[in-house]
């Protein structure tokens, strides 16, 4: 079956790692037509935005996209291409698996967990009031008059909205994902003991949803600080974690650190009609055009995309090749080489690493 996928190469190292990813995916024999759509800081002059409307429409039309990283222009007022795409397409799930790979120098060799982060609410909603502004002053007056507490007059304020509907759909996604992937437990992570009306609501909804999966998927909840300690001490205790936006952001990077860092961390932003797959790392501008960046994260994101498209065999073959090449430790990019030997001597480039993966799949 032929799949049409929107390819957003992005900027910085994006185009090179995407090229390597496309070559590896095509080597599986899967029938994919890439429809390239632009995004990136280099479009500012022509379009006045790093994310043209035509790119959003292309993703909406095809329903599946894979995206290279994009630089967030500083001082333009544009928050980020990722945030804008998530908002425009209501991609409410940020899915980030963290699993051990050989040869990465990671602290643990048996991690296999999945972060399900809520992507649209919480302190990331972008509702902020600048210190000294008239709006901040009015809000401070309102809070004082309500009797809820006192905010110092020289405060800046960020709002943390968490809704029943937003919590319900993310927790349900986590449980459905656990059922589909044969995973045994979902952990809801929160700080409900302190933030009773936002995290407390999230936890209450999580318990209600969990009751509907009783007997199929186990459920527990953890306070976020204790959860972080537990993850560092014994990541094997965790399976699927579901978190509000801010904790999800922080804990998913912590989990990437458990398995070898951002260079090998895949991810996806998923909504009801669309899924955008992308590496977790940024555009690494200092490495752009040097053919030395590690394409593993975007290649593993492509594995998630292939699974989403039902191409399980192709995804499994790529994953096996990544394990094989990293495990042998001979044909690896500079970042992995440095972990292995303390020096970048003997590292191979982006495309040579992709060649090694393709040879591994063919052999």
Q: Which is nearer to ligand NAD, 191 or 281 (CB)?
A: 281
191, 292, 353, 355: the active-site residue: 191
Smallest separation, CB 332 to ligand NAD (Å): 11
Site for ligand NAD in 239-268 (CB under 6 A): 262-263
State how far the Cα of 241 lies from the Cα of 259, in Å rounded to an integer: 16
Smallest separation, CB 299 to ligand NAD (Å): 10
Closest by CA to 295, choosing from 242, 234, 336, 257, is 336
- For residues 119 and 269, the answer to whether their CB atoms sit within 8 Å is yes
Q: Which is nearer to ligand NAD, 178 or 293 (CB)?
A: 293
**Dihedrals phi, psi of 219, to nearest 5 degrees:** -135, 140
* 353 has catalytic annotation: no
- CB-side exposure of 190: number of CA atoms within 13 Å? 23
State how far the Cα of 187 lies from the Cα of 22, in Å rounded to an integer: 35
249, 292, 335, 355: the active-site residue: 249
Options 86, 96, 117, 281; binder of ligand NAD; rule CB under 6 A: 281
Site map (CB under 6 A) of ligand NAD, residues 302-341, x = contact: ---------------------------------x------
124, 173, 213, 247: the active-site residue: 124
Site for ligand NAD in 48-77 (CB under 6 A): 69-72
- Work out whether strand 3-8 and strand 32-36 pair parallel, antiparallel, or are unpaired: parallel
Site for ligand NAD in 75-104 (CB under 6 A): 82
Strand order in the sheet with 93-99: 32-36, 3-8, 64-67, 275-279, 266-270, 93-99, 112-118, 240-243, 185-190, 218-223
* 191 has catalytic annotation: yes
Q: Segment near ligand NAD (CB under 6 A), from 101-109, 274-282, 313-321, 337-345?
A: 274-282
Task: Give residues with Cβ within 8 angstroms of 234, minimum separation 6.
Answer: none
**Positions marked catalytic:** 124, 191, 225, 249
Residues that bind ligand NAD (CB under 6 A): 13, 69-72, 82, 262-263, 278, 281-284, 286-287, 293-294, 297, 335
């Amino acid at each position: 079956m032929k799949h049409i996928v929107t390819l957003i190469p992005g900027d910085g190292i994006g185009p090179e790692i995407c090229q390597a990813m496309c070559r590896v995916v095509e080597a599986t024999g899967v029938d994919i037509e890439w429809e390239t759509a632009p995004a990136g800081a280099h479009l500012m002059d022509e379009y006045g935005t790093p994310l043209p409307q035509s790119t959003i429409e292309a993703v909406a039309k095809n329903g599946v996209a894979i995206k290279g990283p994009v630089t967030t222009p500083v001082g333009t007022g544009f928050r980020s291409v990722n945030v804008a795409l998530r908002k425009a397409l209501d991609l409410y799930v940020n899915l980030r698996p963290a699993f051990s790979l050989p040869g990465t120098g990671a602290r643990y060799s048996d991690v296999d967990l999945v972060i399900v982060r809520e992507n649209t609410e919480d302190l990331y909603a972008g509702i902020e009031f600048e210190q000294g502004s008239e709006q901040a002053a009015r809000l401070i007056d309102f809070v004082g008059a309500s009797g809820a507490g006192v905010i110092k007059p020289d405060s800046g304020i960020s709002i943390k909205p968490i809704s029943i509907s937003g919590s319900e759909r993310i927790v349900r996604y986590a449980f459905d994902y656990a059922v589909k992937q044969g995973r045994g437990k979902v952990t809801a992570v929160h700080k409900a003991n302190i933030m009773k009306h936002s995290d407390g609501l999230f936890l209450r909804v999580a318990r209600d949803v969990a009751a509907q999966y009783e007997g199929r998927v186990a459920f527990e909840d953890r306070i976020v600080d204790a959860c972080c300690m537990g993850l560092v001490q014994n990541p094997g205790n965790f399976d699927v974690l579901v978190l509000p936006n801010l904790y999800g952001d922080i804990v998913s990077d912590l989990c990437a650190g458990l398995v070898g860092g951002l260079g090998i961390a895949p991810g996806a932003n998923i909504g009801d009609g669309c899924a955008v797959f992308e590496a977790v790392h940024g555009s690494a501008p200092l490495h752009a055009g040097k053919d030395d960046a590690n394409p593993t994260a975007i290649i593993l994101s492509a594995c998630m995309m292939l699974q989403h498209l039902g191409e399980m065999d192709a995804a499994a073959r790529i994953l096996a090749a990544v394990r094989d090449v990293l495990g042998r430790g001979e044909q690896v990019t500079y970042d992995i080489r440095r972990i292995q030997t303390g020096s970048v001597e003997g590292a191979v480039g982006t495309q040579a690493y992709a060649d090694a993966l393709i040879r591994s799949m063919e052999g």
